[in-house]
Amino acid sequence: MHHFHYRDGTLHAEDVSLADIAAEVGTPFYCYSRATLERHYTVFADAFKGTDTLICYSVKANSNIAVIKTLADLGSGADIVSEGELRRAIKAGVPANKIVFSGVGKQARELKLALETGIYQFNVESEPELELLSQVATSLNKEAAIALRVNPDVDARTHEKITTGKAENKFGISWKQAPRVYARAAQLPGIKIAGIDVHIGSQLTDLAPFEAAFTRVAGMVAELRQAGHEITRLDLGGGLGIPYRGTNDVPPPPTDYAAMVKKTVGHLGCQLMFEPGRMIAGNAGILVVGVVYEKQGDDRSFLIVDGAMNDLIRPTLYDAYHEVLPVHEAAIEAPCRNYDIVGPICETGDYFAKARNLAPQQPGDLLALMSAGAYGAVQASTYNTRPLVPEIMVDGTQFAVIRPRPTYDEMLDQDRLPDWLAS
């Protein structure tokens, strides 16, 4: 599942002690395992061997250029949702013809850059976007290959904030309206219909919602082809979950997912495209924090650590669970205590975990928050003027800082005084 393990009582990332990294770069910090990234990509890709597939890693999950390049070197494309992510993918070495542009709010300048870059496909999310893309493509004398993102109105049975395929969600075009919008797309200059796109949510641990959505898509392919549209690509999105609670919530393996995909749409003769993000990056990264204080309340104990909600917002944003492991393994006979693990920010929502059984911790001890490689560093902020957390990548016995912690001077220098306050 991942390459974080204890060795001689100390938690390691591959062959590097996390305590050694902490001693050099300080805490908090994110740490990614190259071997885990590569393993997760390969396991997913191998499940579709012998099938015409294009895997486009979802950059929003973890957009560090070193992470993207690690996957690009294995043949991965990129699913992007902004100009910034497009630029990151290109800088990381992702070929333009393996880049897919998703997202509900693409602007004219972003469409222009993507067309000039020569990306593979636009996943169009609305009729106004379709019209704008036609205008921009025509102005550049280019043709944009598109798939309409269809909203199948399928409940992904995941957290409401990461469900994307229900009728009330902002994403995509209603499957009921899609035939009419495809007819309009066929009339527009600069537009080439290539396929259908669907994405129903994130962190799915059950194949049934996928199967319901893909079955609906298969019916649409038949209907659209009968109407004269050439449908050669199916972008089936991402969303396959990861185990956040060890062996207690294990999602289906990629082989089972692939078997379901082949059963529902494999007969259509389309190129199959996928946008895995969390499944590749999630368990490949951890957040390491240092204990500042132990504090005893009336009915609970608190471990106050130097990381905070601005470093990893998933627990307070999604009520997300992250396993917490001490970097230095406690003795078997050590008594455990129930702790709420909280940060220094002046928000009640500033917590990582509640009611966790851990051996007593002392100031300076290190804790690892597991499965933090996806939607961790990418959602970090500088709230309370706290520097962004550095990111580390480990490769066997070596590690490198792949995003440094900014200094306070660098942070403060980003502000500018107006002339009337400069004196």
Q: Under a CB-based contact definition with an 8 Å cutoff, are residues 8 and 22 in contact?
A: no
Instruction: Report residue 163 CA to chain centroid gap.
Output: 14
Residues in contact with 421: Cβ distance below 8 Å, sequence separation at least 6, in sequence order: none
What whole-number distance in Å separates Cα of residue 129 and Cα of residue 131?
Answer: 5
Q: Under a CB-based contact definition with an 8 Å cutoff, are residues 254 and 292 in contact?
A: no
Strand-strand pairing, 191-197 and 173-174:
unpaired
Query: For the chain, how far is it from start to end, CA to CA, in angstroms?
Result: 58
- Report which of 245, 263, 243, 266 is spatially closest to residue 253, judged by C-alpha positions: 243
- Report which of 213, 257, 214 is spatially closest to residue 46, judged by C-alpha positions: 257
Q: Quick check: is 336 catalytic?
A: no
| Per-residue exposure over 294-330, b if at least 16 CB sit within 10 Å of its own CB, e if not | beeeeeebbbbbbbbbbbbbbbbebebbbbbbbbbee
Q: Under a CB-based contact definition with an 8 Å cutoff, are residues 225 and 270 in contact?
A: no
319: left (phi over 0), alpha (psi -120 to 50) or beta: left
Catalytic residue among 31, 56, 336, 346: 346
Which residues are tagged catalytic? 346
